[in-house]
Amino acid sequence: MINKQSLWFLTLFSLILVLSVYYITMPSDLLLSNNSAYNEEIKNSSTEAVIKESEILVAMRVELEEERAMKKSDLQGILTNKDLPAEEKNEALEELKYLNFLSGQEENLEAKIKNEFNLDSFVEIDGNQITVVAISDKHDSTLANKIMRSIQSSYDDKMYITVKFEK
């Protein structure tokens, strides 16, 4: 009888064999033409790193998502722990729902800013504080004021809104 280790070995070996046969039977002029075009492209392109505006926002979103993912992981650990009382589990569940609610609110505000002002933005909500980072060439205080008023119109309570502009 074949055990799992032998089965994996045979599977990987056959995969390597198929790929090597494919590589050997491939026309050599195809390999040379692709490599020469690629090498020429590398020579002609500049090696400067250019950061696009959207990359700044993506980095901020990724950082926030990682932070929230860690919180959610901790909360889910509390929910799955059999030794904790039901009250703590309920609190963890409520906090988990709140984190999901915040994510939805942030996405809605970003869409609102995109629709009303045609600006790419990043929104972070922390309690009653809202931080907005908008991508714009001009740093206009009237535009910032309009963004703040637009966001505040979505809430009944007083929110402390900060607007920053990035290029």
**Strand arrangement, sheet containing 121-126:** 121-126, 129-135, 160-166
Q: What is the pLDDT of residues 119-135, one digit of tens each?
A: 889 999 998 999 999 98
Strands (E), 15-104: none
Q: What percent of the chain is modeled with pLDDT above 90?
A: 29
- Give DSSP secondary structure letters for 45-61: S-------HHHHHHHHH
Amino acid at 93: L
Superfamily of segment(s) 53-166:
Stage III sporulation protein AH-like (1.10.287.4300)
**pLDDT band (50, 70, 90) for residue 43:** low
**pLDDT band (50, 70, 90) for residue 6:** confident
In this prediction the pTM is 0.63
**pLDDT band (50, 70, 90) for residue 51:** very low
**Taking the domains of the chain in order of start, what are their residue ranges?**
53-166
Calculate the average pLDDT of the chain.
83
